[in-house]
């Protein structure tokens, strides 16, 4: 990573108040760098992971229910760059990218990942500083968003996919039990939400309640290992599926501060995560993003407010053409007493 990239990132991110890394955070950084070195050695410059099938519908778990279905608190000057095969060129361009139309992601590399690790740790710090809320079991998580995703149609044996325009989505999800009926309102229709899995409980990684999120490990490595274990055999690779799963957990829920911090630090341990600057959400708000390459120039990007570092939304798009394959923008989150009630 060259000095200009480090300088750009330092200007972009809020100033860290940390003077030195705690021992535990140094260990997380060390683990991340070792994972990147192994990945660079195994893949080489020409390697490209298989494209992940489009899962925009599946990554909205409550829609599936309705159908029955500082890792481093450091300033940029402390970023460590380890050059391995494929660690130059495209990755560095994205790290210093002026926007989503810049050059593609290229093969995973340490050079491309350093800024993402710094950003994720600062996001984790910001999440950790949020006040923990006292929530009763009978309450509901309310999330209002603007969403757009592709609609697939088959005509005369030919499948076509057309992106919808962004529309408002409101969802009420139970705090404690997946068998308590929630509610989804979108595109003029109101749909009760039920439990698609046998038995009642706090849900699972595909459809968590607030209580499940509270119960997740707050040690980043333990949390990531849990995600690997519970998603084994899914997706194109364990790392791709881990990134997708963390995105599922933060997208349409209210995540307790300690859990949110652990999820972001766990994401920093996944080899291949990348930083992209100036990515808009579904309502056009500009943000900074942590992304995963799903194939070629296609990425799945989590978007954060560059000032507050709060999660804003997500965009699946092609960095070369700008083609959007799915996007969301979170507009409001709150706890309410019953489905249909507004904050």
pLDDT digits (tens, 9 = 90+) for 207-236: 899 999 999 999 999 999 999 999 999 999
Q: Considering only CA atoms, which of 163, 266, 293, 118 is closest in space to residue 205?
A: 266
Question: What mean pLDDT do residues 15-28 have?
Answer: 44
- Averaged pLDDT, 119-138: 96
- Report how far residue 65's alpha carbon sits from residue 105's, in angstroms, rounded to the nearest whole number: 34
Average pLDDT on 237-253 reads: 95
Q: Decide: pTM greater than 0.85.
A: no
HSE-up (13 A, CA, CB side) for residue 327: 23
Q: How far is CA 10 from CA 32, 75, 263, 307, in A?
A: 20, 7, 23, 13
Phi, psi (deg, nearest 5) at residue 315: -145, 130
Query: What is the Cβ-side half-sphere exposure of residue 343, based on CA atoms within 13 angstroms?
Result: 13
* Residue 104 pLDDT exceeds 50: no
pLDDT (tens digit per residue) in 63-97: 333 333 333 222 222 222 222 222 222 222 344 22
Give the C-alpha separation, 257 to 309, whole Å: 13
**Alpha-carbon gap, residue 281 to 263, rounded angstroms:** 21
Collect all residues with Cβ–Cβ distance below 8 Å to 75 and sequence separation of at least 6.
Answer: 10, 15, 16
- Asked if residue 110 has pLDDT above 60, the reply is no
Question: How many CA atoms lie within 13 Å of 163's alpha carbon, on the beta-carbon side?
Answer: 15
Residue 164's pLDDT is 85
Q: pLDDT tens digit string along 248-298? A: 999 999 999 999 999 999 999 999 999 999 999 999 999 999 999 998 999
At 148 the pLDDT is: 93
Residue 293: partners with Cβ closer than 8 Å, 6 or more residues away: 49, 105, 108, 272, 274, 299
Query: Is 269:39 a contact under the CB 8 Å cutoff?
Result: no
In contact, 193 and 65? CB cutoff 8 Å: yes
Mean of all residue pLDDT scores within the chain: 74
pLDDT band at residue 11, thresholds of 50, 70 and 90? low
């Amino acid at each position: 990573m060259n000095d200009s990239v480090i300088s750009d990132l330092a200007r972009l991110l809020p100033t860290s108040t940390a003077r030195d890394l705690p021992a535990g955070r140094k260990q997380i950084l060390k683990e991340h760098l070792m994972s990147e070195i192994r990945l660079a050695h195994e893949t080489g410059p020409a390697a490209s992971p298989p494209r992940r099938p489009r899962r925009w519908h599946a990554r909205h778990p409550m829609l599936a229910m309705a159908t029955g279905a500082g890792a481093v608190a450091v300033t940029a000057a402390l970023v460590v760059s380890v050059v391995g095969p494929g660690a130059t060129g495209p990755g560095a361009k994205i790290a210093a990218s002026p926007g989503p139309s810049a050059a593609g992601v290229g093969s995973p590399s340490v050079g491309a990942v350093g800024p993402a690790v710094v950003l994720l740790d600062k996001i984790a710090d910001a999440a950790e500083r949020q006040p923990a809320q006292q929530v009763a079991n009978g309450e509901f998580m309310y999330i209002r968003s603007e969403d757009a995703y592709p609609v697939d149609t088959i005509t005369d044996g030919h499948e076509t996919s057309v992106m919808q325009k962004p529309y408002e989505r409101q969802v009420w999800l139970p705090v404690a039990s997946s068998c308590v009926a929630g509610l989804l309102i979108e595109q003029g229709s109101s749909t009760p939400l039920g439990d698609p899995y046998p038995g009642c409980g706090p849900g699972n990684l595909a459809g968590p309640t607030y209580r499940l999120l509270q119960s997740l490990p707050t040690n980043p490595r333990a949390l990531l290992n849990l995600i690997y274990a519970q998603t084994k055999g899914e997706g194109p690779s364990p790392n791709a599926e881990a990134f997708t799963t963390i995105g599922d957990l933060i997208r349409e829920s209210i995540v307790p501060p300690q859990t949110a911090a652990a999820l972001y630090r766990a994401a920093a341990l996944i080899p291949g995560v990348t930083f992209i600057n100036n990515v808009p959400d579904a309502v056009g708000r500009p943000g900074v993003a942590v992304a995963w390459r799903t194939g070629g120039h296609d990425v799945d990007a989590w978007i954060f407010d560059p000032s507050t570092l709060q999660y804003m939304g997500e965009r699946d798009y092609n960095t070369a053409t700008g083609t959007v394959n799915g996007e969301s923008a979170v507009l409001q989150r709150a706890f309410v007493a019953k489905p249909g009630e507004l904050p």
